[in-house]
Amino acid sequence: DVQMTQSPSSLSASVGDRVTITCRASQNINTYLNWYQQKPGEAPKLLIHGASNLQSGVPSRFSGSGSGTDFTLTISSLQPEDFATYCCQQTYSSFTFGQGTRLEIK
Amino acid sequence: QVTLKESGPVLMKPTETLTLTCTVSGFSLSNVRMGVTWLRQPPGKALEWLAHIFSNDRRDYSEFLKSRLTISKDTSKSQVVLTMTNVDPLDTATYYCARMPARTLVYPYYYMDVWGKGTTVTVSS
């Protein structure tokens, strides 16, 4: 199984900050990596697919990069609605998710 | 507008069989470009993929759970059904269904682009 490890597990930041979340795969997954946003009581939302492709309708302040084993999700300027949990997913071999990064207001 | 809605029991006893239904709208289950997947998230834990099904009835299951899972679809009802046998308290989770476009030669990636809000199932004696 491909294991996905996210860091940090939680993060405090302020509106306007630039934030980066990291996801590491236990083996090479090329660019088979997606990012999702989760808010309590809401459906998870796809942000990025194929490591760097922004899903339609997602604000351009979100971006993804990486290939192989190391990936990042960057939010260029945090907005109030961005405080949520973010998780990565690999689709190279079956499907596995990272444990999530909780982004909180400082 | 594409929507998916999960339904099923709230509370179950160990050893029972869980049946979950995902009712979709805004797209057809006969669309060759679209599939539906089931996932779950135990309290405080990571999301876990369970199974998916495509319009041609191609199905895949989690290796860890495949002996207990069956996924099927009723295109006329726009429903995808997941059954899980012999439930255990460890199966307590929020269960989600999501639309998953089929990958192509041009774009070989899977992703879940629209999700339901989930349904919470508790297994307890």
Q: Is the pLDDT of residue B71 over 90?
A: yes
Residue A42 with chain B: CB contacts under 8 Å: 117
Q: Encode pLDDT of A29-79 as tens digits.
A: 999 999 999 998 888 999 999 999 999 999 999 999 999 999 999 999 999
Is residue A16 over pLDDT 90?
yes
Query: What is the rounded CA–CA span in Å between residue B9 and residue A85?
Result: 27
**β-pair partners for B84:** B18, B69
Give the separation between CA A40 and CA B115, rounded to whole angstroms.
14
User: What integer pLDDT is reported at residue A41 of this predicted model?
Assistant: 86
Residue of B46, B63, B111 lying closest to A91 (CB–CB) = B111
Using the structure block, give the residue that is written with the tokens 């996210």. A6
Taking an 8 Å cut-off on Cβ atoms, the answer to whether A97 and B111 are in contact is no
Give, for A102, the enclosing helix (H) or strand (E): strand A101-105
Residues ≥6 apart with Cβ < 8 Å to A100: A6, A9, A38, A85, A86, A87, B46
